[in-house]
Amino acid sequence: MPPRPVDVPALVTAARAGSPRAVARLISLVEDAHPALREVMAALAPHTGKAHVIGLTGSPGVGKSTSTSALVAAFRARGKRVGILAVDPSSPFSGGALLGDRVRMQEHALDPEVYIRSMASRGHLGGLAWTTPQAIRVLDAAGCEVVLVETVGVGQSEVEIAGLADTTIVLLAPGMGDGIQAAKAGILEIGDVFVVNKADRDGADATVRDLRHMISLGDRTEPGLWRPPVCKTVASRGEGLDEVMEAIDKHEAWLDATGTRHTRRLRRASDEIEAIALAALRARMGDLRAGHGIAEHAAAVVAGTTDPYAAADDVVAHLA
């Protein structure tokens, strides 16, 4: 089935005017790797770079959805337009399929200044590295001043999210493991702000102390480096949110004062370009393979008239 034709300029204009339908359609184009994506991205480019991208990650059960919802309320109280990407790294499904899980965000569902989208990252097009940055671009260009990317901390996803965000919030809950386990999980390196949620439970202070201690042992104590604060919240009751917002503000100020925001975005753009270029090369290689380009070389290798390196050189020479 050929893809539906897309009126890109109209769609981009509508998305920038705040049409949720247009934003939804653009993100679907991203997820489908639609042929119009290049035109979309070219049209969006001049309007990007304004959103503050906040990553929020944590193990299952720490209260990510509730915390995201509370943060959205706080940003809405400031009059900001907010975009939310809920990325499920373990699910092959996306779009509407996961929205059932977003019940806790229902309070924002009818707010026209809040855009909520669930995305899968394990599709055939690769992980977070591929679709999420493009979806962030869409929300950014659509005028979202804050883009919250929420993902469950499993495997590589929390490291990937830290690569995408300006500010990464790592969420923990009391009794879900001590500081040493956090260090082992590699989350000490990626968090810009740590939040111990469900702080009305036993052991919250111990978890906070533990985390502060582990952070003090790290290499982030040098002057000029950002020292991640550890906040306590009860997100379900909105408690401690002011502290978290203050930490985000301070981190944003630090990002700008030190030029770190620009450095991070340069690195992120490099990663993105590289991922797209590699995917393009891989696709061309696939074409070559289907078109018997590699097959002829393989036959020569099997016959012993050439070797795999010489064959690969030739393949590479004919790619670009």
In the complex with its own copies, the residue whose CB is nearer, 96 or 286, is 286
Residue 303 touches its own copies, criterion: CB under 8 A:
yes
Residue 319 touches its own copies, criterion: CB under 8 A:
yes
Residue 257 touches its own copies, criterion: CB under 8 A:
no
Q: How far apart are CA 150 and CA 88, in angstroms?
A: 8
Binding-site size, its own copies (CB under 8 A): 53
Q: How far apart are CA 17 and CA 117, in angstroms?
A: 18
Q: How far apart are CA 245 and CA 248, in angstroms?
A: 5
Residue 259 touches its own copies, criterion: CB under 8 A:
no
Residue 305 touches its own copies, criterion: CB under 8 A:
yes
Q: How far apart are CA 11 and CA 271, in angstroms?
A: 27
In the complex with its own copies, the residue whose CB is nearer, 5 or 305, is 305
Q: How far apart are CA 149 and CA 293, in angstroms?
A: 42
Considering only 37, 165, 188, 193, the residue that binds its own copies (CB under 8 A) is 37
User: 20-31 and 128-141 helices cross at what angle (nearest 10)?
Assistant: 160
Considering only 133, 153, 191, 228, the residue that binds its own copies (CB under 8 A) is 133
- Per-residue interface string for the shown chain with its own copies, residues 134-173, x marking contact by CB under 8 A: x---------------------------------------
Nearest Cα neighbor of 120 from 87, 74, 146 is 87
Q: What is the largest CA-CA distance in the chain?
A: 73
- Do the Cβ atoms of 226 and 264 come closer than 8 Å? no
- To its own copies, the closest distance from the beta carbon of 116 in angstroms equals 25
In this structure, the chain runs to a length of 320
Nearest Cα neighbor of 137 from 54, 30, 39, 32 is 30
Residue 276 touches its own copies, criterion: CB under 8 A:
yes
In the complex with its own copies, the residue whose CB is nearer, 134 or 157, is 134
User: Which residues in this chain contact its own copies in the complex, by CB under 8 A?
Assistant: 37-38, 41-42, 44-49, 133-134, 262, 265-267, 269-270, 272-274, 276-278, 280-282, 285, 289, 294-295, 297-299, 301-313, 315-320
